[in-house]
């Protein structure tokens, strides 16, 4: 059934030309210059001044860089500022 609802949501989003993260429970990782934004995160796994690791639900994003300052941490969002060196997506965390 979750497959059903997700496929219907995806179809609806396509028809209405909405960004996918607004209708589906998918994560959005935005990097603009030195600003890093992770929306729709499930859990913050690890955070330090050179590494942010975050569970997005179906995969894990790992951001490596320098002198990260985390501006905001909430249940769904992580905002950080820092020089990004490397960005990688891993498989499911489970």
CA 31 to CA 33: how far, in whole Å?
A: 6
CA 69 to CA 56: how far, in whole Å?
A: 20
* Contact residue for other proteins among 15, 17, 32, 75 (CB under 8 A): 75
For the record, the structure tokens of 43 come out as: 């859990």
**Residue 93, interface with other proteins (CB under 8 A)?**
no
Closest CA to 68 of 89, 90, 44: 44
* Contact residue for other proteins among 4, 33, 72, 86 (CB under 8 A): 72
Identity of the residue, 26 or 44, whose beta carbon is nearer to other proteins in the bound complex: 44
* Contact residue for other proteins among 21, 49, 85, 92 (CB under 8 A): 49
Report, in Å, the least distance between residue 80 CB and other proteins: 8
């Amino acid at each position: 059934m979750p497959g059903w609802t997700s496929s219907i949501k995806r179809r609806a989003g396509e028809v209405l030309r909405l960004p996918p993260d607004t209708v589906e429970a998918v994560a959005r990782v935005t990097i603009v210059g030195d600003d890093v934004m992770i929306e729709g995160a499930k859990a913050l796994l690890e955070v330090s001044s050179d590494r942010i690791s975050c569970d997005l639900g179906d995969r894990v994003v790992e951001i490596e860089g320098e002198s990260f300052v985390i501006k905001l941490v909430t249940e769904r969002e992580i905002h950080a500022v820092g020089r990004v060196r490397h960005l990688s997506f891993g498989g499911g965390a489970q």
